[in-house]
Chain A
Amino acid sequence: MKTIAVYSSKGGVGKTATSVNLSFTASAGGERVLLCDMDSQGAASFYYRIKPKKKFNRARLLSGEFYEFIRGTDFPELDLLPAHFSFRNLDIAINDEKKEKKRLVLASLLAPLADQYEYVILDCPPNVTVLSENIITAADCVVVPVVPTTLSLLALEQLLKLCKKVGVKKNKILAFFSMVERRKLMHNSIMNKYRSYPIFMQSYVPFMAEIEKMGMYRRPVGSTPRKSVAAQPYELLWQEIKERRLEQ
């Protein structure tokens, strides 16, 4: 089982759209995938039309008794662990753990799923807390969407600092340009400058109305009967993630 975290401390960069579409693409290949919605807003759960069961909450998650709360999506090989409003305080609860265990909480919660899924994809909330430390420790690969803007690049820099602090190798990080608008000069110049950096993948996801409309249709872009063109960037992205990190 490989764990892929889709993370950025900056909001609105396309983390959830990436998690939802990558998990769909990964499962379409016939491999078992679990998408964990770690963000208390529950946007990924909303896209898949999944509501958490009444008895589910943060305490259940942290006690390890969360398997019965995993729910099947509309797609055969893809399951989802829905978010719960109580997840907003997940970092506080993790902070209460003993120091030596603190960064390993998430990794130990996910470990027993190894015989059920080939891939676990984490849709992470936008912050830099002890939960973020857990996420980058547990993940085999941290996928970072970067809008070609200065603030987004700052968030990437911040993540690299966090890796150093936590003692996680930087090569876990794979960034890609997200919500790219080719007509914008700034987007072009930032991409030209940074695209050749090893941390960046060659695939990027353009800004597309169809991706925005996911909130209306509540399904991944690749799942429409006539496959949307918006699905292709995610397929290429998944292919590159697999080649660069997961199949090593």
Chain B
Amino acid sequence: MKQLQTRMFSLPHGMGVDTLFKKLSKSFVVEQSEHEISQRCYYDTFDWRLHRNSLVFFSRSNSLHLERFNGKQVAMASGRRRAKFFWWDIEAGELNYRLKSLIEMRALCPIIEIQTETSQFRIMNHDRKTVARLVVRNDQLKETDSGLPEQVFVYEIRGYENEFETVVEQCRRKGCLEVKKRKLLERLLKLSGLNPRDYGDKFKVDLEEQMSVGAAVSKICLSLVDDMRTNHPGVIADIDSEFLHDFRIAVRRTRSLLSLMKKILPTEQCIYFQSEFRWLGSVTGPLRDIDVYLLEKEDYLNLLPPSLKGGMSVFFTRLEARRAGELKGLQFHLGSERYDRLLNEWCRFLSDPDSELFRSPRDQNCRVYANSTIVKRFRSFVRAGNKISDESVDQELHQLRIKGKKFRYLLEFFKSFYHEEQMTTFLKFMKKLQDNLGTFNDLSVQQNLLGSELDGLRAKNLKTIRFAAALGGLIAVLADKNRTVRGEFEATYADFTRPEVQELLESMVSATV
């Protein structure tokens, strides 16, 4: 059967809907059926995860909706407007399930709030049979005077195609402009001056071919400062765990750059900033460590048999209490004079034209410098990797992981100098190896933490004994997993050091863009 049509129109500026009805009433009887005023609040994560998937989430009176950009509903649930939503705040069902994979640990925060006034009209023939429906809609941004032009929606009723076409034609004749795609949120964002996808998880800095080392370092590091400043309010307000995560990534990237380029950067300043960013890394670390455990709570519990799950709840309750204390400490550090001074001095160093950063030898061409540094770092990484054998201790693998991470950051800093496709392929090879090393490291760290928790226990009561049993169970499972991951290292590393991968890197650095 034929799909029923809907047409959307924008009323011309200054024209009221009455003018249109006057025209329509020559052929039809027009009667208002319903009138409604509703509030809507649109949400997205800080990194626009829903927008990136062409989805819209909003609350309307007592319900929550997930829709596509074209207005087609994906899922809904009951719930009222609130300051933020995690997926677990929404009742179990389709919406909760969809959001879990879309937004993961991120919070949905309000982006736009509107008041919508809709009036429904029945367009009837002389028998007073409804032959088309018409909805007039008025969207206003809350707490402002601005709104979208009044919109008219015409809905077809099955079997009344001619009448529908007549109504559409009369709308056109009255100067109504047809709106092809719905994209209501896009128009509201534009109206409110918000720029969607202004923040993302991918690091991207465009460097010019002729840039000096100093200018490139300045551009890269100022972009990282920007990331820190953007995430800072979210960390302080403790909106979700990813603000701190992204903040720490920006700090880690900065530290990697200082360490990777220490030979070319002015020694005194480099040592000073390395030490200050190390401090920033250390004060943000404890809270992140706790977040990692809390985020993996479900996975941890799933590793245990039902009889031991209860024991672990003590651990998580204690972690949550500890988190509150760590957050206070972090809020203090990120509001401190030392933090402000660090960022101010760092920005001055990066942008002051008289800064040491722009003097010789940092005035040399950055692309040439990047080529040789990338090759050197790659060789150094491979040399370290070749030394790993079955007898190597865990620490050696951790060192290799850190070396690999720095090398990946280096590639990402200078990504824009190179052929995009080649770089993406090389980074994919790199990621596979790093995933193996990263998982190995995570499992080791987790075992150590659980081990130290176990060491600190005194068997005072049954609760503690149950907790100890759960910890023991987890450590055993993690150790087993660790062995498997360690066993996979050799094959993963061999795959990365294939001649093709090396050739890919060489061809990439020798090519001109």
Contact = CB atoms under 8 A, between A and B. Distances in A.
Interface of A: 48-51, 53, 67-72, 74, 79, 116, 218
Contacts of B128: 49, 218
A70 B129 contact: no
A208 B3 CA distance: 39
Contacts of A51: 127
Contact of B1 (A48, A49, A53, A67): A67
B158 interface: yes
Interface of B: 1-2, 122, 127-130, 157-160
A218 B160 CA distance: 19
Contact of A79 (B122, B127, B158): B158
A120 B157 CA distance: 19
B166 to A, nearest CB: 16
Nearest to B128: A49
Contacts of B159: 50, 53, 68-72, 79
Given A70-B158, A72-B159, A116 B1 contact: yes
Contacts of A69: 159
22 contacts: A48-B129, A49-B128, A50-B129, A50-B159, A51-B127, A53-B159, A67-B1, A67-B2, A68-B2, A68-B159, A70-B1, A70-B159, A71-B157, A71-B159, A71-B160, A72-B130, A72-B157, A72-B158, A72-B160, A74-B130, A79-B159, A218-B128
A74 B129 contact: yes
Contacts of A71: 157-160
Contacts of A48: 129
Contacts of A68: 2, 159
Does more than half of chain A's interface fall in helix, strand or loop, or is it mixed? loop
Contacts of A218: 128
Given A49-B129, A79-B158, A74 B122 contact: yes
A67 B122 CA distance: 24
Nearest to A116: B1
A49 to B, nearest CB: 4
A192 to B, nearest CB: 43
Contacts of B129: 48-50, 74
A69 B129 CA distance: 16
Given A49-B128, A68-B159, A79-B159, 13 more contacts: A49-B129, A50-B129, A51-B127, A53-B159, A67-B2, A71-B159, A72-B130, A72-B157, A72-B158, A72-B159, A74-B122, A116-B1, A218-B128
A64 to B, nearest CB: 13
Contacts of B1: 67, 70, 116
A23 to B, nearest CB: 15
A53 B129 CA distance: 14
Nearest to B125: A49
A237 to B, nearest CB: 26
B90 to A, nearest CB: 22
A74 B132 CA distance: 9
A51 B348 CA distance: 80
A74 B121 CA distance: 12
A116 B2 CA distance: 11
A49 B2 CA distance: 22
Nearest to B157: A72
**Which one of B1, B2, B122, B127 has the greatest number of beta carbons of chain A within 10 Å?**
B1
Contacts of B122: 74
Nearest to A112: B1
B32 to A, nearest CB: 12
A74 B157 CA distance: 9
Nearest to B129: A49
Contacts of A50: 129, 159
Contacts of B2: 67-68
